[in-house]
Structure 1
Amino acid sequence: MTVDRILPTEEAHELLDLTRELATRELAGKADDYERQGEFPREIVRTLGRAGLLGLPYPEADGGAGQPYEVYVQVLEILAGSWLAIAEAVSVHTLACYPVQAHGSESQRKSLPDMLGGELLGAYCLSEPQGGSDAASLTTRATRDATGWTVSGTKAWITHGGQADFYNIFCRTGGAGARGISCLLAAAGSPGLHPQKPERTMGLRSSAPAQIVLDGLHVDADGLVGDENGGFRIAMEALDAGRLGIAACAVGLAQAAVDHAAAYASERTQFGKPIAAFQGLGFLLADMATQVSAARALLLSAARLKDLGRPFSIEAAKAKLFATDVAMKVTTDAVQVLGGYGYVSDHPVERWFREAKVLQIVEGTNQIQRLVISRSLTSPDAR
C-alpha cells in the first residue's frame, strides 16, 4: 500500500518516487538470497549512495542532499518495506557520518563527499561486550603517544564491522564517566583494528554485526573528532537522530507486514468466504493498520521537531520505543493471520518477524527508552 504523504516540496515527492523505483529495481526479490547466504549487499548500498540516498539529511555544501528529516525517515520507511537490512545500513551509515559532519576538523571534513556519497561506508563503535546500554562506562582505552593515540579494547555489535571503510571509535581518554570519553576516527585496515567474524543472528543475516578488537591501534593526533573528552556528547547527539532512523525502519517493516497479511486474508478462503470477512481476523487487521499509522505519526512529529531546531530527543525516544514495539506486535500478528504459512520462509512474514526483534534492541534498548522518557517526566533537567 502506498501511504498518502504531505511533503514540504515537489522535490521531496520526486525523491520518494525515486526511492520506490530503486526499491523495485534494486531490492525487490533479493533479500532472501542475501539473507540465506549471509552476504552483505555492499554494491547495492553503493548504488543507493550514488543515487544520493546515503547523505539525505546533510547539507549540500558537504556533499549531502539537504533534505529535512521528515523526508529522510520516509525514505527509510520505503526501503525497510522492501529489505530491512538495506534500510538499517542507510540509517547506520547516516549515523556514522554525524561525528565528522557536525564536529570534524577541516582535514576530516574533506572526506565528507565520499562519506555522504556512499563511496566510503561508516561504522559507529560505541557498544562493548559488557556495557551496551551503559555507554558512559565504556572501557576501551586510548593512551597518548608521541604522534597521537594508541587504542586497546573491544567493541561489540558493530553494524558494518568488517565492511566499513571508516570507524568512529568511542574510547576513554580521561577519567571515569561520560566526561572522559573521546571520539577517534580510524580507517579500515589500520594496523591493530581487527574485525571479527559476523555474529550468528536471528535476523538481518545479510548485515550481521561483528566485534571489533582494537589491539594497539594507532590513531594520529588529527584523528580526534571534536574536543578531547567531548566524545560522549557527540555519541548522544548522533543517537538521538539515529533513533528516528530505527523508528522509520520499524514503521516500514510493520507496514509491509500489514500489506502482506491483508492481501493474504483477502485471497485465502475458508467456509466459503475470504478469511478477512471474519470479524475476529478483520478486527485484528484493523488494529494492525491503526498501530502502524500511530507509529508513523509519532515518528513524523519527532522528525519535524528536529527540522525546526527544537529539542527532540525525548520525542525520538518515544518514537523509537513505540514504533519498534508496534513492529514486533504487527509482525507477530501477521504470522498468525497466515497460520502455518506464516511459519515457513515461503512468505516474508517469517523473516520480518525475526527482524523486528532487533529493532527493539539497537540504538538503545526499549527499556533504556522508557528510562529516558520517565526521567523526563519527573526531572525537568532531563528534558
Structure 2
Amino acid sequence: ATALGLHRRVMDETRRFLAARRRKAGKHLAETRRLSQHPIVRHRLGEIESRLMTAERLAYDAVHLLDAGRPCDAELVQSKLVGNVAAGESLRDASALHGGYAARTDHPITRLMRDIQLVGAPAGPDDVQRYRLSEKAVGADRIQWSADFIRRTTKPLAAAV
C-alpha cells in the first residue's frame, strides 16, 4: 500500500509538472507548448500510468482474496514485488521527465526518490519474494501466512451470535 501511494504521488506530481511547464516549439520556435502535449512525453506518462494500474490491480486482487478468507500468500508477495519494482521504474521515468528539477533537494520528485528507496526493505529483498513465488510454482508452498491471519481474525459463527 505504501508503494502504491508513493507511485500515485509520482504520477500526480509528474502530470502536474508537465501540464505547467512550457517549451518553445513550432516554426522558428515562435510558439510554446506544454510538455504534456509532446507525443514522446505522453508515451512515457502512459508507461507510468500502465505500471500504476497494474500494481493497483494486483494489490486489490490480493486484498480481495484475503477479505474473502482465502489463502493468498503468493498473490500478496506478487503484489508487493510488482508494486515496489513498478514504483521504482516509474520514478526513473518521472525523473527524466522532470529533468534538472529532479536533482533539486526541494523538488517533490527528489523526496519521492528517497521514500521509494526505503519501501522495498520492509517487504524483504526482491530475490526473497521471487524465491517465495518459485516455491509456489514448484508446489513447495510453506504454511500460508494469510491462512493463519484469516484464522486469527475471523470470529467463529457461533461466537458472533
TM-score, length basis structure 1: 0.34
- Residues 1:378 and 2:138 are matched in the alignment: yes
1:288 matched residue in structure 2? 48
Give matches, 1:137-176, under 5 Å.
none
2:101 matched residue in structure 1? 341
Measure how far apart 1:381 and its partner are: 4.1
Code of the residue aligned with 2:33 in structure 1: it is: K
Measure how far apart 1:326 and its partner are: 1.0
- Residues 1:249 and 2:2 are matched in the alignment: yes
Give matches, 1:26-41, under 5 Å.
none
The DSSP-based 3-state class of the residue aligned with 1:361 is helix
**Quick one: distance in 2 between partners of 1:369 and 1:359?**
14
Measure how far apart 1:358 and its partner are: 1.8
Unaligned runs of 5+ residues in structure 1 are 1-247
Number of aligned positions between the proteins: 136
1:260 matched residue in structure 2? 13
The DSSP-based 3-state class of the residue aligned with 2:121 is coil
**Quick one: distance in 1 between partners of 2:104 and 2:114?**
12
Match of 1:356 among 88, 108, 116: 116
| Structure 1 residues 338 and 301, CA gap change in structure 2 (3 angstroms) | same
Code of the residue aligned with 2:16 in structure 1: it is: A
Give matches, 1:305-316, under 5 Å.
305-316=65-76
**Quick one: distance in 2 between partners of 1:358 and 1:314?**
22
Between Structure 1 and Structure 2, the one with more strand by share is: 1
The DSSP-based 3-state class of the residue aligned with 1:289 is helix
**Quick one: distance in 2 between partners of 1:283 and 1:366?**
27
Measure how far apart 1:283 and its partner are: 0.6
Q: CA RMSD in A?
A: 1.3
**Quick one: distance in 2 between partners of 1:279 and 1:375?**
43
Match of 1:320 among 67, 80, 90: 80
TM-score, length basis structure 2: 0.80
Unaligned runs of 5+ residues in structure 2 are 25-31, 145-161
Give matches, 1:191-202, under 5 Å.
none
Deviations 1:134-153 (A, max 9, x none): xxxxxxxxxxxxxxxxxxxx
Code of the residue aligned with 1:345 in structure 2: it is: T
The DSSP-based 3-state class of the residue aligned with 1:310 is coil
**Quick one: distance in 2 between partners of 1:285 and 1:308?**
34
**Quick one: distance in 2 between partners of 1:364 and 1:342?**
27
| Structure 1 residues 307 and 278, CA gap change in structure 2 (3 angstroms) | same
Identity of aligned residues (%): 25
1:279 matched residue in structure 2? 39
